[in-house]
């Protein structure tokens, strides 16, 4: 059907491209350690874009009627935005592993066994274990009117675990998540279990919050979301185009700590965001966003690049029913040289923050935040002394990332993000 769509669209339009995506997903859920449900879903769809009379039109369908899809795309172009985009020409695609034959053969029974193995490892008295195991396999195929034809298979196996502990009026909720093209190895599962049970152990004792003030704080990979979300928005070419990115005029300017490097890496083998090309046929490449504290690049798809007078960075992503948008593949914060013990040793009196409540709400791109802790621990003289409940942390992500005192030597993959723990100086901490 792709060939037919491109052939017919090329006769009527100045340019056209189409992407076909397939997906088959199996999901197994455990509640309180017991198998709760299994489900499956399948989807196959087409997204067609045409440039006709200088206007862009889009249409998507999960059906198999090419005429209806073509008519809808050209009808959209009559009212679409005017923009001069140039579709990519054929070019070699980089090699990257996005699919595992072993993962593709996993059945619901296999996922149940994987889940039960994790439940057994996590089962301790007084702790409720919730778990979701998911296997997704599919494909991406793209063609355009300039002769580009490309395709690749994808697979993802994800494991999401949540522990809930209730002691009197105290509730502890902690979770972890891994996802890759293949099922997790025994070592990866054991590491995940170790992280979760360590948090439970640290929380056995309660600790008073430190005295309010500007203190050192160690953010875990999960806790660092409050620092990284603003950067994700600010480094999008769409935000630059809209004039709302605080980093728009700071390319090649030192803005953060020299130890801080942030890259987008679609060529990381076996990771859930990896791809040899984006959804517009542009070959993928590793892109430095922040390099040793210096702002280097923003991500663009074809349309935002055309409007900004820039070049696409190969970051166009499109769903079946929406036009392409700039989107990241695998975001990676380059690790440093400190073990977690060495990072904590940098803290005379402060916090280890694993979860903040309300992250992502409000004006995220501005960088300012003031969030109560969901899960945090008091650190005294480099040692964790107990869980802190009644405290909040505040600051501005852009300023705080200029005060990085140390980065962990191992980045933890959380889905399609790899982040090490990091210690930030001078975070505003407010006790009860």
Q: All domains of the chain, ordered by start, with CATH? A: 2-200 (3.30.2290.10), 205-432 (no CATH)
CA atoms within 13 A on the CB side of 32: 2
Q: What is the pLDDT of residue 121?
A: 94
41 neighbors 316 (Cβ within 8 angstroms): no
pLDDT mean over 185-204: 93
306 neighbors 282 (Cβ within 8 angstroms): no
**Strand-pair partners of 144:** 17
Q: Which band of pLDDT confidence, cut at 50, 70 and 90, is reported for residue 285?
A: very high
pLDDT above 70 coverage of the chain, percent: 100
List, for residues 210-219, the tens digit of each pLDDT value: 999 999 999 9
Q: Which band of pLDDT confidence, cut at 50, 70 and 90, is reported for residue 64?
A: confident
Q: What is the pLDDT of residue 17?
A: 96
Q: What is the pLDDT of residue 362?
A: 73
Tell me the C-alpha distance between 430 and 394, whole Å: 8
| Residue 280 burial by Cβ neighbours in a 10 Å radius (0-12, 13-18, 19+) | buried
pTM of the model: 0.94
Helices (H), 145-255: 186-202, 225-234, 237-242
Q: What is the chain's mean pLDDT, rounded?
A: 94
Closest by Cα among 76, 21, 24, 20 to 50: 76
pLDDT above 90 coverage of the chain, percent: 88
CA atoms within 13 A on the CB side of 391: 30
200 neighbors 129 (Cβ within 8 angstroms): no
* Residues 6 or more apart whose Cβ sits within 8 Å of residue 420: 221, 333, 335, 336, 407, 408, 409, 410, 411, 412
Tell me the C-alpha distance between 376 and 223, whole Å: 9
Q: What is the pLDDT of residue 72?
A: 95
- Other CB atoms within a 10 A radius of the CB of residue 126 amount to 9
Q: What is the pLDDT of residue 235?
A: 97
pLDDT mean over 236-256: 95
- Other CB atoms within a 10 A radius of the CB of residue 229 amount to 17
Closest by Cα among 278, 264, 260 to 232: 264
Tell me the C-alpha distance between 351 and 339, whole Å: 17
3-state SS assignment for residue 118: helix
List, for residues 120-176, the tens digit of each pLDDT value: 999 988 899 999 999 999 999 999 999 999 999 999 999 999 999 988 778 899 999
Q: Which band of pLDDT confidence, cut at 50, 70 and 90, is reported for residue 202?
A: very high
336 neighbors 423 (Cβ within 8 angstroms): no
pLDDT mean over 173-201: 93
Q: Which band of pLDDT confidence, cut at 50, 70 and 90, is reported for residue 1?
A: confident
Tell me the C-alpha distance between 131 and 177, whole Å: 10
Q: What is the pLDDT of residue 255?
A: 95
Tell me the C-alpha distance between 29 and 23, whole Å: 19
List, for residues 263-277, the tens digit of each pLDDT value: 999 999 999 999 999
Tell me the C-alpha distance between 236 and 234, whole Å: 6
Q: How many helices (H) and strands (E) does the chain have?
A: 10, 21
- At residue 108, φ and ψ (nearest 5 deg) are -60, -35
138 neighbors 21 (Cβ within 8 angstroms): yes
List, for residues 357-384, the tens digit of each pLDDT value: 988 787 899 999 999 999 999 999 999 9
> Is the pLDDT score of 432 beyond 80?
no
- Other CB atoms within a 10 A radius of the CB of residue 421 amount to 28
* Residues 6 or more apart whose Cβ sits within 8 Å of residue 324: 49, 279, 280, 301, 302, 303, 316, 317, 318
Q: What is the pLDDT of residue 361?
A: 80
Q: What is the pLDDT of residue 348?
A: 95
- At residue 232, φ and ψ (nearest 5 deg) are -60, -40
Tell me the C-alpha distance between 165 and 130, whole Å: 11
> Is the pLDDT score of 302 beyond 80?
yes
Q: What is the pLDDT of residue 360?
A: 79
Distances (CA, A) of 33 to 38, 116, 166, 395: 14, 8, 16, 39
């Amino acid at each position: 059907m792709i060939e037919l769509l491109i052939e017919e669209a090329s006769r009527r339009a100045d340019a056209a491209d189409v992407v076909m995506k397939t997906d088959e997903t199996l999901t197994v859920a455990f509640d309180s350690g017991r198998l709760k449900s299994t489900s499956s879903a399948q989807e196959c769809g087409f997204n067609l874009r045409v440039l006709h009379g200088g206007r862009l039109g889009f249409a998507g369908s999960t059906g198999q009627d090419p005429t209806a899809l073509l008519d809808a795309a050209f009808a959209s172009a009559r009212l679409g935005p005017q923009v001069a985009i140039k579709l990519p020409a054929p070019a070699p695609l980089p090699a990257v592993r996005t699919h595992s034959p072993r993962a593709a053969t996993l059945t619901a029974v296999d996922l149940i066994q994987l889940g039960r193995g994790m439940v057994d490892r996590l089962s301790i008295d007084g702790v409720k274990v919730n778990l979701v195991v998911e296997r997704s396999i599919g494909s991406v195929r793209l063609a355009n009117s300039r002769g580009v034809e490309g395709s690749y298979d994808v697979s993802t196996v994800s494991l999401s675990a949540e522990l809930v502990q209730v002691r009197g009026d105290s509730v502890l909720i902690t979770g972890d998540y891994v996802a890759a093209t293949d099922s997790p190895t025994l070592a990866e599962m054991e590491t995940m279990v170790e992280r979760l049970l360590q948090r439970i152990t640290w929380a056995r004792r309660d600790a008073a919050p430190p005295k309010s003030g500007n203190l050192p704080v160690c953010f875990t990979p999960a806790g660092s979301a409050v620092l990284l979300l603003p950067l994700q928005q600010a480094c999008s070419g769409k935000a630059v185009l809209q004039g709302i990115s605080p980093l728009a005029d700071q390319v090649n300017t030192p803005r953060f700590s020299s130890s801080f490097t942030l890259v987008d890496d679609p060529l990381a083998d076996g990771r859930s965001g990896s791809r040899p090309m984006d959804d517009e046929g542009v070959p993928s490449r590793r892109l430095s966003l922040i390099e040793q504290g210096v702002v280097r690049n923003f991500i663009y798809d074809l349309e935002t690049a055309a409007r900004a007078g820039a070049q696409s960075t190969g970051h166009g992503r499109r769903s079946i029913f929406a036009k392409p948008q700039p989107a990241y593949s695998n975001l990676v914060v380059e690790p440093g040289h400190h073990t977690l013990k060495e990072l904590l040793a940098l803290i005379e009196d402060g916090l280890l923050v694993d979860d903040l409540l309300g992250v992502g709400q409000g004006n995220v791109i501005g960088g300012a935040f003031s969030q109560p802790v969901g899960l945090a621990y008091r650190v005294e003289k480099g040692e964790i002394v107990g869980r802190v409940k009644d405290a909040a942390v505040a600051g501005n992500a852009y300023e705080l990332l200029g005060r990085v005192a140390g980065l962990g030597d191992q980045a933890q993959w959380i889905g399609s993000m790899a982040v090490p723990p990091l210690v930030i100086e001078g975070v505003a901490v407010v006790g009860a």
